[in-house]
Amino acid sequence: MNTARLRIYAAAFCMDATAYGAGLLLPIKALKSFDADPLELGLIGTIINATYTIVCILTGRLSDRVGSRSLYLPGAALVFAAALPIVYFSDSLADLYLAAPVLGIGLGFYWAPLEREIGEASGPRNLWKTAGTFNCV
C-alpha cells in the first residue's frame, strides 16, 4: 500500500473516531445537561445529517474544480475548532442546535473531498479495490 493511501486511511480513521465520539456525546450532553426529549434528540441528528448531505453534494463537485485538500483541511478544522468546542462549552440546548449544522458542514467539507482524494491516489485500475478497502477499514 502506498504512502498516500496510508495517510488518507489514517486521516479518515481520526475523523471517524471524532465524528462518532461527537455523535455519541452530543445526545448524552443533551439528555444529561438539558433534559432533552426524544424529539429534541432526533432534531439534533436530523440537522447534522441533512446539513452533511447538502454540503457533500456541493463539495463533491467543488473538489473537482479546486482540489480536495483545499476543502478537507478546512472541514477538519471546522469540526475540531468550532463544532466540538461548541458542544463542550454549551450552556443550553440552543447551543447544541448551533453545533449540529456546524458539525454537518465540517463533515461535508471533509468526506466528499477525501473520497475524491482516494480516487486520485488509487488510479482508475484499482479504484474499486481501494474504495472497498477504505470502506471496510
pTM, two decimals, is 0.88
Ranges of each domain in the chain: 3-136
Give the DSSP letter string of 38-93: HHHHHHHHHHHHHHHHHHHHHHHHHHHHH-SHHHHHHHHHHIIIIIHHHHHT--SH
pLDDT at site 132: 80
Cell output for 2? 502506498
Higher pLDDT among residues 44 and 134, named by residue: 44
Per residue in 78-119, pLDDT tens?
Answer: 999 999 999 999 999 999 999 999 999 999 999 999 888 888
Nearest 10 degrees: CA dihedral of 94, 58, 17, 10? -150
